[in-house]
Structure 1
Amino acid sequence: MFACLETSDLVAAGWNSHQIRSAVDCCLRRLRRGRYVVTRACDNPSHAFVAAIAEAEETALPHETAGMLKRGEDLRILVRSFVPDLPHDAVFSHRSALLVHGLPVPYVDKGEVYVEVASPRSSVRQRDLVVRRRALQPDTMEIVEGIPVTTVVQTLLDVARDCPLAFAVAVADAAVHLGRVTLEEFRAHQAAHPVRTRQSRITAVLENIDGRRETVAESICAVRFVEYSIPGFEPQLVVCDADGRFLARSDFGNEAVKVIAEFDGAGKYYIDDGDPHRAFERERKREYALRNKGWMVFRIRWADLFSADLFLRIKEAVRIRETEIAARDRLAGPMQGAQ
């Protein structure tokens, strides 16, 4: 885990204010007033205390440098730093609770690196902390490794109520896919804990959960199909040829019009032997085989999930193929009658 230190920890180790200042941007990074994260083991003798922590087997060091991956890492570090500062009647909630439970946070937008907490007393919004005033009942919170947090199912309910549909569905899909909760348990919990606002958001999430989806990208993609009114796409569609021989298992496929949508993440080109070129060649041969059997294949990148362009192209491809099939069926009718 990330090693977060307080000023008092450094003072107890014999450090003075000059040492602390010199360590910042060397082997420590200041998170907020009086809170730091260990970033590396430096060779400065006066920083030996921090170096020992950095070299400990259980210490994880920050390594992301830019973009959404860094924002996600910064969020995990910030949540860790708030563990000792949580008010006695508050619990981590929303994205912070997802991290505590080991569930994915699908994405972190710019300006959204802040800790989220639920408290029955008051609401507060600061640069790095958002406290929502929420009633906390015994069955909506628990202690995970000494950390007060909303339960998994309550976290799903909070996320469904307060986050965008694609984000919330991706979180719920992951929880169901990993066996952390069932759809029936989620439905029962929300029925037992009715909300006064945004019930329609929760209903929309419940209507779109599918534990067959294997990644947050697939879940977001599925929501985009709904938002752009693109029908007929099933997750993990197994494609066989006319003789029943296996061709592929696609991320999404519309069997009626023979259109496939595949998420094109870089990680899928790394296989057990660590040879991405071999994996890429295998993927290319697989796609050729599908195209030779009349399937149209669309490659979806992460950025495409947040743009309309590709989904409008998929929608148009489905429309054209449906029109062609209908035209063939109309022509086939009179011919069969003549026979």
Structure 2
Amino acid sequence: MGEQMPRAEAGLILSPGDLAARGHSADGIAALVRRGELIRVRRGAYAYPEPAASPEAQHRLAVRAALAHVGNDACASHISAAVLHGLPVWRGDLWRVHLTKHREHGGRIRPGQVMHASVLREDEVITVAGMRVTSLARTVVDLARRYPGALAVAAGDAALARGLSGDELDAALDRAAGWRGIVGARRICGLLDGRSESPGESVSRLIFHDAGLPAPVLQHKITDGSATVAIVDFYWPQWRHTGEFDGMIKYGRLRRPGEDVSAVVIREKVREDAVRDLGYGMTRWITTDLDERWPLIERLRRRLRGDLAS
């Protein structure tokens, strides 16, 4: 029989000494890890597994363990900060914990951890769930400087929706003047829009921009003259064409209490028919379309030129 874990201890970081005090020998600890009843978060740090822990939840554990082994002048940053803030990390690598130490030089990389060196202003470090982490504005700028545009736009859009203001973001960009990647960061941050309701919508918008497609109106309300028929993700007014990103997050958001996904799909089909009946075209796409991107771009180009029926 495995050890019964108190629910309150899920996510608690334990040292070998903590486990020894609970009666576990070194061999016993290894056996718990093999059985999946204990997670080795990093060298000298263990945790009881959380039920159905997501990659983000596992990363939070790793961040907590890493912060326990560094000085108070360090904090979680970059993609690790995004995870702690609850921002999406589109296609992000969560294998390494990213920390920033308050100093100008001396960053280093080692297995499972990247320690960045950078000056941290007092207002650029906050506390989330008991852990020191870069502020939303600093996190978005760091992501935009160092990560692929898709990840940075998805996280940045979510940060704006969370309440990050344009003035805060501009101030963070100004403080990063002259830093590596700042030119690209200004471009990425100029594309952010808090009206995007999912990472897939954010990445779609970036793909359209990079491909030179006309900029769509976001979250456009379509009415029949008296009532709202639908609010669509994207709308190109000149062509009366709408676009919808269909992802599992979206369908989960649209589910009503006690409803399964199939009911949502049917309701979405009825909504699409109502939009088409009003003379609008519609193109739908999913995550794999974003990965391949060019077939989707060409499909939209043809439809916006009116070469194909919608």
TM-score, normalising length from structure 1?
Answer: 0.79
2:58 match: 74
Task: Please say if 1:219 is aligned against 2:202.
Answer: yes
Shift of 1:244: 4.9
2:172 match: 189
Task: Please say if 1:262 is aligned against 2:244.
Answer: yes
2:25 match: 16
Look up the SS of the partner of 1:63 in the other structure. coil
State whether residues 157 and 193 of structure 2, in contact with CA within 8 Å, keep that contact through their aligned partners in structure 1: yes
> Structure 1 runs of 4+ off > 4 angstroms?
none
1:117 match: 99
Distance 1:78 1:71 in 2: 11
Shift of 1:145: 4.1
Which of residues 249, 258, 261 is equivalent to 1:276? 261
1:146-193 deviations in whole A, cap 9, x for unaligned? 3222222111111111111221121121111121x1012211232244
CA 1:192–1:125: 2 relative to 1, 3 Å: closer
Distance 1:315 1:86 in 2: 52
CA 1:276–1:142: 2 relative to 1, 3 Å: closer
1:205 match: 188
1:118-145 deviations in whole A, cap 9, x for unaligned? 1224111122101122122323223334
Look up the SS of the partner of 2:232 in the other structure. strand
CA 1:31–1:145: 2 relative to 1, 3 Å: closer
Distance 1:135 1:17 in 2: 40
Which of residues 298, 302, 306 is equivalent to 2:291? 306
Look up the SS of the partner of 1:171 in the other structure. helix
2:231 match: 249
User: Structure 1: 5+ residue runs without aligned partners?
Assistant: 40-60, 65-69, 325-339
What amino acid sits opposite 2:288 in the alignment?
A
State whether residues 276 and 282 of structure 2, in contact with CA within 8 Å, keep that contact through their aligned partners in structure 1: yes
Shift of 1:3: 3.0
User: Structure 2: 5+ residue runs without aligned partners?
Assistant: 1-9
Question: What's the Cα RMSD here?
Answer: 2.3
Larger-gyration structure (1/2): 1
Shift of 1:89: 2.5
1:52 match: none
CA 1:77–1:147: 2 relative to 1, 3 Å: closer
Which sits farther off after the overlay, 306-315 or 228-237? 306-315
1:5-47 deviations in whole A, cap 9, x for unaligned? 22121012222112112211221122332222313xxxxxxxx
1:56-77 deviations in whole A, cap 9, x for unaligned? xxxxx1425xxxxx54443233
Shift of 1:104: 3.0
Distance 2:231 2:152 in 1: 26
TM-score, normalising length from structure 2?
Answer: 0.86
What amino acid sits opposite 2:299 in the alignment?
R
1:263-306 deviations in whole A, cap 9, x for unaligned? 11234162233233332221111111222333222222122222
1:31 match: 41
